[in-house]
Amino acid sequence: MLLPELKFRRDKIRTLMSQQNIDAALIACNVNLLYTAGQIISGYLYLPLHSPARIFVKRPNNFTGEHVHSIRKPEQIIDILKEEGLPIPQTLMLEGDELSYNEYVRLEKIFPESTIVNGTPIIRQARSIKTELEIEMFRRAGIAHTKVYEKIPSVYREGMTDTEFSIEIERLMRLGGCLGIFRVFGQSMEIFMGSLLVGDNAASPSPYDFALGGQGADISLPVGANGKLMKAGESIMVDYGGNFNGYMCDMSRVFSIGKLSDEAYKAHQVCLDIQEKVISMAKPGAVCEDLYNAAIEVVTQAGFADNFMGVSQKAKFIGHGIGLEINEAPVLAPRNKQELEPGMIFALEPKIVLPGVGPLGIENSWVVTTEGVEKLTLCEEKVVDLLEFKV
């Protein structure tokens, strides 16, 4: 990655550090290293407020460049900083929400003279406003994601289980260039590439904070497909993350085997109406809570509030920021007064679950521009009947 891009990202973090009188940051977690160092390393990026960043690398041993130092252990960092003539920071930020306790304590002990603060919120705030390069990466991911989704009907075969169908979709994703890994913020958040939900499985509660859950194929990963036979009259929601270049593009589409009930198509249209309403309001300065409330107003007037974003267990949001992780800022949720800003990228996902039918709705990725928003995932949004593509 070009140094000007990395410097721009680092300076965004520095600006926020300066506002809180933080002298330096020591960055150790994969996603934040990818953001600030340009690739994932086993090591650390030291970011002083007024000096060039230093990178301390354990692995790989071929990572070189200006201000790059090879180390065996983090305790060497302090001596190198002194050799470089850099002052020991009075206040140092670590990734308190991401590091393990042992790692946090170990790094804290290396700087006994420094006041240690949690820097995770600052880094996530900086990452929430994408650079022009990041937005272009998202545009490319959206194109690749759409090309894969357009091929989904071609892999359906009669008599499939949801697990078998999901495996074929995962194969399409990988062949289309998806890297496979699906990065999520939070130690209790995990998923494999995405989820496929069929029928009433979409209403199954899950411990994970996603829009919809699903029982999953095993208690060790209780989310998504559960091995049930797909049958006519049930809806099928495909929600796979489009990681084609490190950025988590997000998109959901609904399929069916034959025709669904009239109520199902009405519910799906309500979700499209919610999308239209929210997007008409989404622009710089729009408040996340107001966008959420607008969605609730539309779905309530349409009579589907009891089935919106789940049934017995409901998600308390209608959209979320995306980036190097699938759950970044901003979050379109009640009581969130954060305002949209140009460069933010979010996924909007109004969804309704009908008992006996399954999930309906839509999810697209959007970038906030100076005047409104730009859609990144341009794919058919109606319910697609898989039988119409049967060979």
The tens digit of pLDDT for each residue in 166-217 reads 999 999 999 999 999 999 998 889 889 999 999 999 999 999 999 999 999 9
Give the model's pLDDT for residue 348: 98
- Are 185 and 102 found together in one domain? no
The tens digit of pLDDT for each residue in 81-111 reads 999 999 999 999 999 999 999 999 999 999 9
- Are 263 and 377 found together in one domain? yes
Give the model's pLDDT for residue 64: 83
| DSSP calls for 225-255 | --SPBP-TT-EEEEEEEEESSS-EEEEEEEE
113, with CB counted inside 10 A (0-12, 13-18, 19+), is exposed
3-state helix, strand, coil in the chain (%, to 5): 35, 20, 45
The tens digit of pLDDT for each residue in 147-171 reads 999 999 999 999 999 999 999 999 9
Among 66, 93, 126, the domain boundary falls at 126
The boundaries of the domain holding residue 74 are 3-126
- Are 23 and 153 found together in one domain? no
| DSSP calls for 238-307 | EEEEEESSS-EEEEEEEEESS---HHHHHHHHHHHHHHHHHHHH-STT-BHHHHHHHHHHHHHHHT-GGG
- Are 118 and 135 found together in one domain? no
Give the model's pLDDT for residue 63: 87
Residue 127, pLDDT above cutoff 70: yes
194 vs 221: CA distance, rounded Å: 12
337, with CB counted inside 10 A (0-12, 13-18, 19+), is exposed
Give the model's pLDDT for residue 259: 97
CATH number of the domain within which 72 lies:
3.40.350.10
- Are 253 and 352 found together in one domain? yes
* Number of compact structural domains in the chain: 2
- Are 108 and 135 found together in one domain? no
Among 126, 154, 184, the domain boundary falls at 126
- Are 243 and 317 found together in one domain? yes
365 vs 348: CA distance, rounded Å: 7
- Are 176 and 264 found together in one domain? yes
- Are 235 and 296 found together in one domain? yes
Contacts (Cβ under 8 Å, ≥6 apart) of 84? 54
- Are 227 and 356 found together in one domain? yes
At 3, is the pLDDT very low, low, confident or very high (cuts 50, 70, 90)? confident
For the chain, give the number of residues. 391
- Are 194 and 295 found together in one domain? yes
CATH number of the domain within which 367 lies:
3.90.230.10
At 1, is the pLDDT very low, low, confident or very high (cuts 50, 70, 90)? low
Report which secondary-structure segment, H or E, holds 170.
helix 162-175
Is this model's pTM higher than 0.75 or not?
yes
- Are 380 and 266 found together in one domain? yes
Among 126, 157, 185, the domain boundary falls at 126
- Find the angle CA(347)-CA(255)-CA(268) to the nearest 5 degrees: 60
Alpha-carbon distances, residue 292 vs 8, 297, 316, 350, 356 (angstroms): 32, 9, 9, 10, 27
